[in-house]
Amino acid sequence: MGEHGGGQVQSLCRALSILNVIADKAHGMTMTEIAQSTSLPMSTAHRLLTTLQHERYVRYDPEQSLWKMGVQAFIIGNAFVQSRDIISTSMPFMVALMEKSGETTNLAVADQGECIYLAQVECHQMMRMQAKPGSRVPIHSSAVGKALLAAMPGEKAKKFIQMREFERATDNTVIDQKALCKEIEQVREIGFAYDDEEHCVGLRCVASPIFDEFGEPIAAVSLSGPLARVSDSRFPILGAMVKEAAEDITAAMGGKKPKNVSTSFCR
């Protein structure tokens, strides 16, 4: 590549770095702040901002002397939102998670007090869980359900809980709301949820939530396997794996984890 081409690439990278820092500041940034954050000379920052402003990727607020994101940045971002697909985006990460853990991976969403499986990547083991897309599990006794409840604002989680009666599927099923709330608070602390033979005898699962750009949970990814392979000591190891996968999918979806989640429904 010639010098001219190399200079164009450098300018592009610098312009993108400006967009990235402004995007992190909802109220805007001064020219000085932008130059300092991107380690660019003031003259270079001004030149690039002027170009970005002309293309409507940024805008200048003269009253506050601040640079902010422009309408074209929204148009580009909205095109991504419209084209993204939670299943196709998650699938490569689910396959990698299955290979790494040796257990079946699942993708599920919350619906009317239950969770619906959208996709599954079966492991290579003889003994494995099988859940067809469209099959449902109770939200209170499944790892995916508890992961999603823990990621919801308190009032929203409360509505999901009140949609259905707590039915006991096994001796381990939690049917007391206070006990479930206590478990949900623990899930929020560690970032993943357990299903210890609560939905099906002999089956253990661990799950973590996936978030959208507003910090709202849109799905949960889980690992499931038989009690013979998923021991007590392996639970936290698998939990760390599924949490990492959920974070990777969240990032690929353009999402973000919320800073705080209300626990009011547990009070």
Does domain 84-266 fall under CATH 3.30.450.40? My reply is yes
pLDDT given for residue 132 in this prediction: 73
- Closest by CA to 218, choosing from 226, 209, 227, is 209
Domain ranges across the chain: 3-81, 84-266
pLDDT given for residue 198 in this prediction: 85
CA–CA distances in Å: residue 155 to residues 50, 137, 158, 162: 45, 21, 5, 11
CA 249/CA 245 separation, integer angstroms: 6
The values of phi and psi at residue 239, to 5°, are -60, -45
CA 182/CA 158 separation, integer angstroms: 13
Could you report the per-residue pLDDT of 7-23, keeping only the tens digit for each?
778 899 999 999 999 98
Q: Is the pLDDT of residue 131 over 90?
A: no
Q: Is the pLDDT of residue 136 over 90?
A: no
Non-local (6+) Cβ contacts of 263 within 8 A are: 154, 181, 184, 185, 188
- Per-residue confidence band for 174, with pLDDT thresholds at 50, 70 and 90: confident
pLDDT given for residue 3 in this prediction: 44
Question: What does the mean pLDDT of the chain come to?
Answer: 86
pLDDT: is 4 or 243 the higher one?
243
- The CATH architecture assigned to 3-81 reads Orthogonal Bundle (1.10)
Could you report the per-residue pLDDT of 179-195, keeping only the tens digit for each?
888 888 889 889 999 98
pTM: 0.69
